[in-house]
Amino acid sequence: MKPIKVDEVKQPRIFIYDTTLRDGAQGEGISFSALDKIKIAVKLDSLGIHYIEGGWPGSNPKDIEFFHKIKTVGLKQAKISAFTSTCKPGRAAEEDNNLQTVIETGAQVACIVGKSWDFHVEQALQTSLEENLRMIRDSVAYFKKQGLEVIFDAEHFFDGFKANSTYTLRCLEAAVQAGTDWICLCDTNGGSMPWDIEKVVAQVVNEFACPVAIHTHNDGELAVVNALAAIRAGATQVQGTINGYGERCGNANLCSVIPNLQFKLGYHCLEIEEIRNLTEISHFVAEIANMPPYGQQPFVGHAAFAHKGGIHVSAILKNSGTYEHMDPALVGNRRRVLVSELAGVSNLLFKAEEFGIQVEEITEESRQTIEYIKELEHEGYQFEGAEASLELLLRRAFGKYEDFFELEKLRIIVGTNNGAAFGAEAVIKIKVNDVVVHTAAEGNGPVNALDNALRKALGEIYPSIQGIRLTDYKVRVLDEKDGTGAKVRVLIETSDVEDTWSTVGVSENIIEASFQALMDSVNFALLKKGTQ
């Protein structure tokens, strides 16, 4: 399908309701502090999100703290929503502590979850169907009297509709009669099919004048497409989370929902310039959640617009539309070309240009370089995750670079001292032009000792080396069947105040592989700083 052009967005406005701070925080391994929530809310507001659900203030002190602090932040446009359930069976809304807590937060919006599946009413709530309708009516009416915007989340709506559509629709009717501003249809168990979602939502939109929202879960890998189906059927609000975080398999991923609605279906969700922040915010939330970013995530993933096959790269260099469904810049991402054993000369030339290496034409030299890279990949090198090593390799191949130092001698001693913990000492001898430096340094392990010794040896000649630090170190065994004699690949990540880069080394000796990666890391740092 041809993407919608930016100036072709003509469909109705769709409101985005973010529940990352509540539903997303229910995902396994995710826990936000009150300060974390404030930081994320500010980012979501900058993206242009219309509603930010801060949490369930009746459930824990952390959410109460968030609602009190967010009032002092001064968001640009987002409305803060507080989540709660309907009042309890047999209790008046104005006497329910959960509902009172929502009022105390000062939130502009109350999102009330209520049962809409008769099975849940009788089994989970253990009350009558009529009492559940009373709970819905009274809870919505109570918040409306307090001047709040109200969203009624009909929990298990689609499962309830299959079991007893008459009662499920009566639940919506109770909320509408009490004055709710939105009725939100929830696929709580995440098992509905898109065609069922679209059919049922269309019926609800036709029967009720109240605006309709959609809330989908991803248990069937259909949360995003189910949300889109609901919008096509007439819903005008979609609830979801950044990166699809959420309980079990997660919620509808807003990082996919928003660009699909805006650029593929022509709906107006957010401003075009705001959507350009989507990739940055996806990574920001992942960092705060302490979850590794998913590289293959559509639209915002590191690999979403990465090209590896030589035929693909050759085509996108002529016209990016040949292998890209949209311009990555629209969501703040970028095109990446990978160089590997699957690469062709086109990949090489693209990367050389990206690194600022002037290559006028395809020569025998460039073809030999590709073959050399393929040989290295066959030996176990992987340049997709080590672009600093790749840049050094290309610069050497095209005569645009020489190493800043030469290794003449290296010795490492590992052991204990008087029964103390194991440590290491590295003795290193390097040559810079005609200057020979011979020194030693200790570390808590051989790689740390190597790093310290190399910095010590280079520090007086290249003072800028002191400004970099090793931030990550990974080892991958390439031939498990060879046991302790197996070849290993070492990936090192290094950072300074401005940037982060990765380098690679491969050997049967883990120390040698580590030193290869360290050498590239330091050489790249010196190249980047323009050191003479």
Residue labelled with tokens 């701070």 = 21
Strands 15-18 and 237-240: parallel
Which residues are CB-neighbours of 282 under 8 A, at least 6 positions away? 242, 243, 255, 293, 297, 300
Q: What is the pLDDT along the chain (532 residues), one digit of tens a residue?
A: 455 554 454 567 999 999 999 999 999 999 999 999 999 999 999 999 999 999 999 888 889 999 999 999 989 999 999 999 999 999 999 999 999 999 999 999 999 999 999 999 999 899 999 999 999 999 999 999 999 999 999 999 999 999 999 999 999 999 999 999 999 999 999 999 999 999 999 999 999 999 999 999 999 999 999 999 999 999 999 999 999 999 999 999 999 999 999 999 999 999 999 999 999 999 899 988 988 788 889 999 877 877 666 566 566 666 667 767 898 889 998 776 655 544 555 666 666 666 666 766 666 766 676 677 777 767 777 676 678 888 888 787 776 767 888 888 888 888 776 666 778 888 989 888 888 888 888 888 888 888 888 888 888 888 888 888 888 888 888 766 666 667 888 888 888 877 888 898 888 888 888 888 888 888 888 887 765 4
Contact 272, 330 (CB under 8 A): yes
Q: How many CB atoms lie within 10 A of CB 411?
A: 11
- 3-class DSSP state for residue 101? helix
Residue labelled with tokens 């002191």 = 466
Q: What is the pLDDT of residue 44?
A: 97
In this structure, the chain runs to a length of 532
- 3-class DSSP state for residue 247? coil
Q: What is the pLDDT of residue 339?
A: 56
Contact 23, 246 (CB under 8 A): yes
Residue labelled with tokens 């696929």 = 187
Q: What is the pLDDT of residue 497?
A: 76
Q: What is the pLDDT of residue 342?
A: 46
Q: Give phi and psi for 64, each to the nearest 5.
A: -60, -40
Tokens standing for 468? 């970099």
Q: Measure CA of the first residue to CA of the last residue in the chain; give whole Å.
A: 52
The enclosing H or E element of 306 equals: strand 306-307
Q: What is the pLDDT of residue 532?
A: 44
Q: How many helices (H) and strands (E) does the chain have?
A: 17, 16
Task: List Cα–Cα distances, 402 to 5, 44, 318, 411, 512, in angstroms.
Answer: 47, 46, 33, 25, 21
The domains found in the chain, sorted by start residue, are 6-289 (3.20.20.70), 306-397 (no CATH)
CA nearest to 90, candidates 115, 127, 59, 143: 127
